[in-house]
A and B are shown apart, each in its own frame.
Chain A
Amino acid sequence: MSTALDRERRRHRRSRLSLGQRELIWAYVFLAVPLVFFLGIRIWPALQSFQLSLFTWHVDPAQREYIGFDYYRELLSESRFHRALLNTLLYTVIIVPVQLALGLAIALLLQSVDRFRPFFRAVYFSPYMTPAAAVAWVWGWMYSVNFGIINTFLIEWSIFWENLGLPWLAIPPQPFLTDPSQALPSVAAVVIWQHLGFQVVIFLAGLQGIPRTFYEAARIDGAGAWALFRHITLPLLNPVMVFSIVISSIASLQLFDQVVNINFTNQGGPLDSTLTIALYMYQEAFGRFRMGYAAAVTVVLFLLILVVTVVQLRLASRKVEY
C-alpha cells in the first residue's frame, strides 16, 4: 500500500496537479459535450417557453404583446385547469405505488423461477412494446359497455351466482370509460398495465446488480427470508428504487399519450374526467393556438414536478443506509 501511495505522490508531483484538480479537469472534459447539449437543446428552449408565457401568441415575434403574468392569473381561475391539476395528482397517486409494488413483485417472482424465464420476461414486457394505437384499440373494445369482454364476463359471472341462489355475489355490467367517475381509474389501469414491463426490467437489472455473496453470508448468519429482503434486497435496491419512483412520478405527472389515445374523439373526457395538465396544455397550444397560455401551463407543470421530485429525492436519500 505504501508503495502505491508513493507512486501516486510521485505522479502528482510530476503533474503538479492535486488529485482534486485532476478530477475537476477530467469531470469537465467528460461533461463538456453533454453540458452543451443540455444547455442548448433543453434549457435554452425551456427558457424561451417561459418567455412565451409572458406574451400573447403571434406567428410574427414583433407582434407578440407583453402581458406579464396575466396568463398565470387566468389559469389559476380556470376551472378546467383545476380539474386537470386534480386529475393529474390522482393519476400519480394511483399509478406510482401500484406500478412500483407490482413491478417489484413480478421482478422477484421472475428471479425465483428457473424455467421459462425469458418467455415470462418477454410476455410481461409485451404491453410496453405494443404501439399506442393498438393499445387504445384493444382496451377501447375490452372496456366497451355493450360489447366489451369485461362486461360479458361480469354478466356471465352474475348469472352463475344467481343460479346458485347467491345473487349478492352478482356484479352488474360497468360503464368504465363512459362514466365520469370510472373513466380515470380505467385509464390508470391501462397505464399501469402498459408500463409494468418498464418497472420489471428496471428492477430485474437492479436485482442482478446485487452480489450473491451478500445473501450467502447472511444466510450463514441464519437470516430468514424477510430479513434478507429487508436488510439486503431493499437497501441495495434503493438507488434503483429511487430512480423508479422519481421517473414514474414524472411520467404520471406528464401523462398524455394514453389519455389522448384511449378516448380519441373526446380527449380528456367524458366531462374532463380524464383530462391531465399535459393534455390541457396540448389542447390550448395546438387546438386553440394559444401558445402563450399553454407555455404558462407548462411552467406551472414544471414547478409542480420540480417540487415533487425534490421532495422525493430528499426523502429517499435520507433513507439510504448502506
Chain B
Amino acid sequence: MIQFLRSLLATAALLVMAAAFAQPVEIVYWQYDYATRIDAMDQLIERFEAENPDITVRQETFPYDAYQQQVAASLPAGQGPDVIQLFYGWLPTWQRAGYVEPLPEQYFDTAELDEVFVPMAQAGKINGQYYGLPTAVRSLALFYNADMLREAGYEEPPATWDEFIEIAKALTEKRGPRFTRVGYGFAPTGQDHHLVREVLTRQFGTPPYNEDLTEVLYDSPEGLAAFEFYTSWATEHEIGVTSFVPGTDGYRNGFIQLENIAMIIDGSFAIGSVENGAQFDWRVAELPVLEEGGVKANFGSYWMNGLTPNAFEDERTLEAAAKFLDFVTQPESMELWLEVVGELPARQAMVDDSELASDPVYGPFIRSLAYATATRFVDETAQRDLMVRAMDRVILEGVDPAVAWEEAAQADQALLDQFSR
C-alpha cells in the first residue's frame, strides 16, 4: 500500500515537473499608459509570442504621472514587471535602490551595443554596464506658428537665437500690464531646463558636466553666459512670461489651442498632440544656434527597457525576459514603433539611413540626433528642480543671475559628490 502511494506520489511529482516545463513562461512588461505605445507593444508581443511559443508576455500600463509610485511600491513586494520601461534619467536613483539590474553578459555584449545604438544610449550605463536599451529616442526642436510668423513678415524660422529673439519680440503683444500673446512659450519645468543645461551651455562653449560625472562644469564664464542669455529672454527682451497659460502643459496648449504662443521648444513626443490639435500652419525647425555655423547642440532622451530583480528569480524567466528585451530593441521593432508611435529609432544605422531626414516634421528631429546628448543625470528630479529654481530666482525674484547660477552649481555638485561617494 505504502509502495503504491509512493509510486503514485512520484508519478504525480514527475507530472507536475513536466507540466512546469511544458508550461509557457510568463513575463510581465510595464510601461506608462499611452494609446499608441500600448498598441505598438501589443503588436510586438504578438510577433514575439509567435516566434517563441513557450513564452507569454503580459503588458500592464499605468498613468504617466503615477508611474514611479507604482514601481516604488510593487517591486519591494516581489510583484510587478520582469521587463520595465523607465525614463533614462531615473536610472541612477532606481539602480541605487535595486529596482533595475544590469543586463546579463550571457545575453548582451556591451561592446556590440556600444557600436549599434546611438551614442546617447550610453546614458543607460553605470560603471560600464548597460542597465537597459531604448526602442526609440527623442530630441528637441522648435515648433512655430508659420501663419503668425508670416503675418509679422518672417517667411523662415529663426536660424540663430538673435533672430529668434527678434521674431519673438515682434510677435509679443501686451494690453496694459498683461500679455495677450507671447513670442516664446516659456516652460522652465517642461523642456527649458534641458535647453539651458544641455543645449545653451554647449553652444556657449562648455559641456555641463565632466566625462566621469564627478564635476559640474557649467559653473564657468561660458556656462553663466548661457544662463544669463536664457533669463534675458524674460527679463530684458520680454518675449514671454513663465506660466503664461496655466496648467500642466500650458505652453503647449497656448501654442496648439489658444494660438497665443508663436514658438515653443518641445520634444518629438509632442508631434502627435500638435498634429491632432493645431488648426494653423505649424512647422518644425532645428534649434537655433548662436551664430551661423556655430556649435549645434540638442538634448536627446529616451525611455529604456530594463530588467527588474523579478526577472532574475529563475533561469527560465531570465532567459525569456532577456529574449524579449532583445526583441523589442531589434531594427524591425523600431520600425514598427516609429510607424505606430512616431518615435525615432535608436540604432545608429537606422538614423543614418532614415528617409525621414528630409521629412518636414520628423526631419529636424532626426537631423538633431546627430548632435544630441542625453544628459547623464545622477538624480534627475533633484537636478531638474535646482535648475528650475535658478530660473525662478532670476525671473520671479530678480536675483542676480550669477548668484542664482552659483547656487545651482553648488547644489548640483553636492548631488554629484553624494552619488560618487
Contacts from A to B (Cβ < 8 Å) = 57-61, 63, 137, 140-141, 143-147, 151, 155, 172-173, 177-180, 264-266, 269-272, 283, 285-291
The residue on A at minimum CB distance from B180 is: A146
Chain B residues with Cβ under 8 A from A143's Cβ?
A: 246
With A265-B190, A271-B389 as contacts: A286 and B396 at CB distance below 8 Å: no
The residue on B at minimum CB distance from A260 is: B65
A145 contact from B178, B249, B389, Cβ within 8 A: B178
B397 contact from A59, A269, A271, A283, Cβ within 8 A: A271
Whether B246 lies near A60 (C-beta < 8 A) is no
Chain A residues with Cβ under 8 A from B178's Cβ?
A: 145-147, 151, 155, 173
The residue on A at minimum CB distance from B182 is: A146
- The contact sample of 28 A-B pairs, CB cut-off 8 A, is A58-B97, A58-B98, A59-B75, A59-B99, A63-B98, A140-B246, A141-B246, A144-B245, A145-B241, A146-B179, A147-B246, A151-B178, A173-B178, A177-B243, A179-B396, A180-B392, A180-B396, A264-B248, A265-B189, A265-B190, A266-B189, A266-B388, A270-B392, A271-B393, A285-B72, A287-B68, A290-B97, A291-B72
CA distance A266 to B395 in the complex (A): 15
CA distance A285 to B190 in the complex (A): 22
Q: Smallest Cβ distance from A83 to chain B, in angstroms?
A: 11
CA distance A177 to B244 in the complex (A): 12
B293 at the interface (CB under 8 A from A): no
Chain B residues with Cβ under 8 A from A264's Cβ?
A: 247-248
With A286-B69, A288-B381 as contacts: A59 and B190 at CB distance below 8 Å: no
Chain B residues with Cβ under 8 A from A289's Cβ?
A: 68, 72, 93-94, 96-97, 99
Q: Smallest Cβ distance from B264 to chain A, in angstroms?
A: 14
Chain B residues with Cβ under 8 A from A147's Cβ?
A: 178, 245-246
CA distance A155 to B397 in the complex (A): 23
**In this complex, which of A60, A63, A179 has the most chain B Cβ atoms within 10 angstroms of its Cβ?**
A60
Q: Smallest Cβ distance from A137 to chain B, in angstroms?
A: 7
CA distance A239 to B132 in the complex (A): 58
* 10 nearest A-B pairs in the assembled complex, by CB-CB distance: A59-B98, A140-B246, A265-B189, A287-B381, A289-B97, A289-B93, A58-B98, A286-B69, A264-B248, A146-B178
CA distance A301 to B94 in the complex (A): 26
CA distance A287 to B97 in the complex (A): 12
The residue on B at minimum CB distance from A294 is: B72
CA distance A242 to B420 in the complex (A): 51
B176 at the interface (CB under 8 A from A): yes
CA distance A199 to B75 in the complex (A): 40
Q: Smallest Cβ distance from A153 to chain B, in angstroms?
A: 13
CA distance A120 to B243 in the complex (A): 35
Whether A146 lies near B241 (C-beta < 8 A) is yes
Chain A residues with Cβ under 8 A from B259's Cβ?
A: none
CA distance A155 to B76 in the complex (A): 55
What 14 additional pairs, Cβ within 8 angstroms, besides A141-B246, A266-B189, A288-B93? A58-B98, A59-B99, A59-B309, A60-B98, A143-B246, A146-B180, A146-B244, A147-B178, A155-B176, A155-B178, A177-B243, A287-B68, A289-B96, A290-B93
**In this complex, which of A59, A172, A264, A291 has the most chain B Cβ atoms within 10 angstroms of its Cβ?**
A59
Whether B68 lies near A286 (C-beta < 8 A) is yes
CA distance A180 to B391 in the complex (A): 13
With A146-B178, A270-B396 as contacts: A178 and B242 at CB distance below 8 Å: yes
Whether B381 lies near A283 (C-beta < 8 A) is yes
CA distance A291 to B76 in the complex (A): 11
Whether A178 lies near B93 (C-beta < 8 A) is no
Q: Smallest Cβ distance from B117 to chain A, in angstroms?
A: 26
CA distance A146 to B241 in the complex (A): 9
Whether B392 lies near A269 (C-beta < 8 A) is yes
CA distance A61 to B392 in the complex (A): 40
Q: Mark B72-92, 1 if CB is under 8 A from A, else 0.
A: 100110000000000000000
Chain A residues with Cβ under 8 A from B245's Cβ?
A: 144, 147
Whether B97 lies near A180 (C-beta < 8 A) is no
CA distance A272 to B242 in the complex (A): 16
Chain B residues with Cβ under 8 A from A270's Cβ?
A: 392, 396
Q: Smallest Cβ distance from B379 to chain A, in angstroms?
A: 6
Chain B residues with Cβ under 8 A from A269's Cβ?
A: 388, 392
Chain A residues with Cβ under 8 A from B12's Cβ?
A: none
CA distance A266 to B396 in the complex (A): 14
Whether A60 lies near B381 (C-beta < 8 A) is no
B177 at the interface (CB under 8 A from A): yes
Q: Smallest Cβ distance from B99 to chain A, in angstroms?
A: 6
The residue on A at minimum CB distance from B246 is: A140
B116 at the interface (CB under 8 A from A): no
